[in-house]
Every structure is written in C-alpha cells, then in structure tokens.
C-alpha cells in the first residue's frame, strides 16, 4: 500500500529533525491577480529525503501534541517577518529548527524556530511567493520571474532560473533532486535542483496554480488566473514531462492535489472534492461541499479532511467519499487542514476579519482547542497553512486594514508559534548543613525538564554567596555539557551557565558550584538561582530556588 502523500505539508526527516513543506490555501474568487498569486500553493513531495510516514497533512511522526494535551497549547512566540505585505502569503516552512517565510517585500527570511529571532534575509528584485526546502537548500519563486536556490543556513544565493519570457513563479516543488516550478506563461518547468539547469517544460491549458509529485508523477492544478471558470488537473511524467492524463473540473483548481494509496484528491472552486485514480485519472467519487473548496485536502488514516467557504470542515471516508462528520466554524475556511497524531488543525477568517485557529479531534470532529485574534488586533488570514513540528504549531498572519486593493494596507506579516512548553524545575542542594569558616561548600543546582517537550538552551544564573569566595564550577561533573561565565578563583560575583543544546523530557542538567566559606560563625549564607530556556515554560513558579546555611 502506498504511503499517503499530502502536498500541503511534507516533512523532510533527518534523524530527529524535520522539514515541513506547506502550501497556502485558496483566496476569494473575486480577489485581484496579485492576491491569487500570493496564495498559489507551494508544496513539496516525496523524495529520497522525505519520510513516507510524514506525508499526510501535518506530521504523522508528531508524538508530542495529541488529543490528550493539545488543549494546553500556549503562544510560544510571535515574530514579525516582513513589511508591505498584502492579504495573501505563503505558509511558513519549518526545517531543522528554522522557520522559512517568503515575503511580499522582495525577500525571503529565516527565523529561529525556538525563539522567532531572525537568522537571515534574502532581498531580491520583486515579491516572493512560493517556497520549499530540501537537502539544505531553500527554493523561492517570485513576481520577477526568477526561481532562486538559497543556502538554507545562510540565505546565500546558489543559483537562479528565469523562463524565456520572465514569467511569474506560481509554485515551487522539490523532489528527488528536481525542482518543479509553475509559471504564468502557463507552463511547468523541471529544473536540476543542484544547478538550476532546465530539464524539461510542459505547456498546460491554463494558469498553473499548484502541484504535487508522487511516484514519479507530477500533478498540476490549473484554471483561470482570476480563479473563476473551469479548471484541469494534469498528470505528467516527472522524468520527461510527458502527459499521462488530464481531468477537467467545473472550477479552477487553486489548491494542491493530495495523493494517497493510489488516489488523487483535488478540490476546486465550484465546491467539489474529487477522488481520481492516480494512474488513469478516472473519477472514483466526488463530494459537494456546498461552496468554494479552496482548501487542499488532507488524508490520514483513511479519512479525507477539507475546508469550505461555507464555514465548514468535512471529514470523509477516503474510499467512498461518505461524510463521517462536519464541524461548523462560523467563519470561512480557506486554509488547508493539517493532521498530526489524531488532531486536525485549521484556521478561519470571519466577515468581521476576526481570525481563529482550531484543533479538532480527527476521529470525532470535537473541538479541542482554539486561539482567537479579534479584528482590533488584526486577524489570522485564511491564506496561510499550518505546520505541526516537534510539539509546536506554526502559522502566518497578516496585519493591517483588510482591503486587498490597497497595497499599503498590510504593513506587517507575522508568524505565530504555539507550544505546550517544557516545564523546568530547579532545586538547590548544599553538600553540608553544618559549615565552618574555611570549609569548602558545594551547591548542586539540578535542573529537571518535566516535559512534555525538549527544553532548548537552558540557562542557569546564580552567584557566589556573600561570605564565600569561588573555588570552581563543574557542569554535571563532566566537561563538554555546557559553558559557564564565572568570577576568577577566590573572587565573587555572578555565575551564568549555558546548557548549549536541548534537554529531553525527564532528564536532568546539573551545575555544581564550590565555594570557600570566609564568613565568621553566626553568619547566614544565602544562595539562590534561576533557570530559563528558549522553549516556552508553562510554569515559572518552580524556576527559582533559595537556601540558607548558618556558619557554626
């Protein structure tokens, strides 16, 4: 049985690190062309570097977030990533601890996934649209007609490709050493991922909005540049670009196809969700959502999930199309669902421009969690997909007066990161309860990570207590487990120790500080410490500790 391939979120797996390739969802059918191009789906497909278990909507390899704890999600950080953004945007891509964003201010940028801090920004000639990351390279397309390959760690340009008529890039897909690019010259291009050299191109009979690659086949969704009128799904040989089959739909196919178990699932602007035989293009079944279905389908555990502008999310039997459940959101669902560990994530935008992010039980459709952003704070736009990676949820937002006709109405794009957090628990343990002047006294500072996620870059801050001088500091009794900044030998002052890595749940990191008692008998020596981390800590009450000892 083939592994399900959900093109809205494919994760490249490198040991414990993952890259999430996400697409953005359908815009309103009446939106202007720049807005529609902004939300053209960027997706990544299977390759030798993609875990087949991570090819559904979110991350089937996700084990931290689930039905039992997703209700405890909290805002981890909010990062502003670009200026002069309009109401569409490409979804953030998460790879190897970095969040990548393509912007509408002529740039692509990379953020630290733990803190939201900017790592690098790449400036180019015009607006950026689609984005994909694979094998240490970020691929980004834009309105200047170029597709760029950037070093994913530094943002340095490796190469760029421009079609003969400098057409705008509509999607970028990376798979098995090939980058597939859609262009508004109504063509699909296959490029060598290492050099950017053109391998082949194929002219489609419409605007190429979206794509997916699975089992050496490139699936392309097309239609009108305005998102109105009929559309077509093409199946092309990934190696040669030859046409295998095509299927006509009643509406433009803005959202990306999803391939699972030999079936291609596509949603179109006429409100239909189609299931096609992936090898022949023959229709197996269809489902009418009742309104435009710009949401890319998600497939997990034999169920198809899709959103509709009729304010509903649907769960359908993947084999028959029978409805299993639906969830009424009260607001438009244009975003593509992400499915991870029994939870369905999606976001909405209401008529009043309020935004809300939801998490539902994937089996029953019951609401488990939501995060609301009122219009006074600006809304989640429905034009950003969702990433679920290693216990964190990432989604893009646009802020500003929601009038897509005014280019300056969207001055800021932000990325929100949500997490359960890592609960650090600190204690201070002296080596003796009775001390005398001239004695050496050891303070142990064990820092426990109570979970449920990894604690990144723990920091312990303490000091040489009054009435003592510093002898030495040791981290867990073994060198190489962190670094400390300390006063000199026999000095006094602050001690700051960095763990410099990540601490797994239910593990301990210990700093030992040895001091010499200089105070006379009767003196009370008080030692205290505080621990912090880059990861969200849901309980700060146990992050400090203090102890006092009387000199005998």
Is the pLDDT at 275 greater than 60? The verdict is: yes
Q: What is the pLDDT of residue 37?
A: 30
End-to-end CA, the chain: 75
Tell me the HSE value of 484 on the side-chain side, using a 13 A CA sphere: 24
Q: Do 85 and 413 form a contact (C-beta atoms < 8 A)?
A: yes
Residue 444 token pair: 């142990």
Measured CA to CA, the distance from residue 473 to residue 495 in angstroms comes to 9
Query: How long is the chain?
Result: 552
Is the pLDDT at 469 greater than 90? The verdict is: yes
Mean pLDDT of 446-450: 94
Angstrom CA distances, 535 to 17, 290, 386, 449, stand at 16, 42, 20, 11
Residue-wise pLDDT for 117-134, tens only, equals 999 988 875 655 668 899
3-class SS at 100?
Answer: strand
Is the pLDDT at 158 greater than 90? The verdict is: yes
Residue-wise pLDDT for 180-199, tens only, equals 998 888 899 999 999 999 99
- Hey, how many other C-beta atoms are within 10 angstroms of the C-beta on 415? 27
The three-point CA angle 159-162-165 to 5° equals: 170
Q: What is the pLDDT of residue 492?
A: 96
pTM above 0.85, yes or no: no
Q: Do 289 and 311 form a contact (C-beta atoms < 8 A)?
A: no
Angstrom CA distances, 391 to 59, 77, 78, 506, stand at 10, 14, 16, 16
pLDDT confidence of 309, banded at 50, 70, 90? confident
Is the pLDDT at 470 greater than 80? The verdict is: yes
Instruction: Name the residue among 119, 117, 113, 115 with its Cα closest to residue 99.
Output: 113
List of residues 6+ apart from 297 with CB closer than 8 A: 6, 255, 258, 265, 266, 267, 273, 304, 305, 306, 336
Residue 278 backbone zone (phi > 0: left; psi -120 to 50: alpha; other: beta): alpha
Mean pLDDT of 220-238: 88
Q: Do 406 and 483 form a contact (C-beta atoms < 8 A)?
A: no
Q: What is the strand order of the sheet 338-340 is part of? A: 338-340, 343-349, 355-361, 367-373
Strand partners, 184: none
Residue-wise pLDDT for 73-116, tens only, equals 989 888 766 543 344 455 788 999 999 987 666 678 899 998 88
Superfamily holding 5-420: YVTN repeat-like/Quinoprotein amine dehydrogenase (2.130.10.10)
Superfamily holding 423-550: ntegrin, alpha v. Chain A, domain 4 (2.60.40.1530)
Residue 142 token pair: 């834009």
- Hey, how many other C-beta atoms are within 10 angstroms of the C-beta on 278? 24
What are the boundaries of each domain within the chain?
5-420, 423-550
């Amino acid at each position: 049985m083939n592994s399900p391939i959900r093109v809205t979120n494919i994760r490249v797996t490198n040991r414990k690190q993952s890259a999430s390739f996400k697409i953005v969802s359908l815009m309103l059918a009446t939106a202007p062309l720049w807005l529609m191009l902004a939300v053209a789906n960027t997706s990544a497909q299977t390759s030798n570097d993609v875990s087949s278990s991570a090819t559904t909507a979110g991350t089937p390899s996700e084990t931290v977030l689930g039905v039992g704890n997703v209700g405890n999600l909290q805002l981890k950080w909010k990062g502003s990533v670009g200026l002069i953004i309009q109401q569409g945007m490409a979804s953030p891509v998460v790879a190897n601890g970095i969040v990548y964003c393509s912007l509408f201010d002529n740039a692509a940028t990379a953020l630290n996934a733990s803190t939201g801090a900017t790592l690098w920004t790449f400036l180019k000639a015009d607006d950026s649209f689609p984005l994909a990351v694979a094998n240490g390279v970020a691929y980004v397309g834009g309105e200047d007609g170029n597709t760029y390959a950037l070093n994913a760690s530094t943002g340095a340009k490796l190469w760029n490709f421009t079609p003969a008529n400098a057409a705008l890039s509509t999607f970028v897909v990376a798979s098995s050493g090939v980058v597939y690019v859609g262009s508004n010259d109504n063509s699909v291009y296959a490029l060598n991922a290492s050099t950017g050299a053109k391998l082949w191109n194929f002219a489609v009979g419409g605007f190429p909005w979206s794509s997916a690659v699975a089992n050496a086949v490139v699936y392309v969704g097309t239609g009108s540049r305005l998102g109105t009128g009929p559309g077509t799904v093409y199946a092309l040989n990934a190696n040669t670009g030859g046409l295998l089959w095509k299927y006509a739909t009643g509406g433009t196919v803005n959202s990306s196809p999803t391939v699972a178990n030999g079936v291609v699932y596509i949603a179109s602007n006429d409100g239909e969700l189609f299931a096609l035989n992936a090898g022949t293009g023959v229709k197996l079944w269809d489902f009418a959502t009742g309104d435009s279905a710009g949401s890319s389908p998600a497939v997990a555990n034999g169920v198809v999930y899709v959103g509709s502008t009729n304010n509903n999310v649907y769960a359908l039997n993947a084999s028959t199309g029978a409805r299993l459940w639906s969830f009424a959101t009260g607001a438009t669902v244009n975003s593509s669902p992400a499915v991870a560990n029994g939870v369905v994530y999606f976001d909405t935008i209401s008529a009043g421009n309020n935004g809300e992010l939801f998490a539902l039980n994937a089996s029953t459709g019951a609401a488990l969690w939501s995060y609301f952003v009122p219009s006074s704070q600006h809304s989640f736009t429905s034009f950003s997909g969702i990433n679920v990676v290693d216990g964190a949820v990432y989604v893009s937002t646009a802020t500003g007066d929601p009038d897509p006709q005014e280019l300056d109405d969207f001055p800021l794009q932000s990325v929100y990161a949500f997490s359960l957090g890592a609960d650090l628990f600190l204690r201070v343990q002296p080596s003796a309860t009775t001390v005398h002047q001239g004695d050496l006294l050891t303070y142990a500072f064990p820092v426990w990570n109570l979970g449920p996620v990894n604690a990144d870059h723990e920091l312990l801050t303490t000091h040489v207590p009054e009435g003592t001088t510093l002898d030495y500091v040791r981290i867990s009794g073994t060198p190489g487990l962190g670094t400390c900044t300390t006063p000199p030998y026999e000095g006094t002052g602050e001690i700051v120790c960095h763990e410099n890595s990540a601490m797994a749940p239910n593990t301990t990191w210990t700093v030992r500080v040895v001091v010499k008692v200089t105070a006379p008998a009767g003196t009370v020596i008080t030692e205290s410490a505080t621990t912090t981390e880059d990861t969200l800590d849901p309980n700060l009450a146990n992050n400090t500790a203090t102890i006092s000892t009387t000199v005998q």
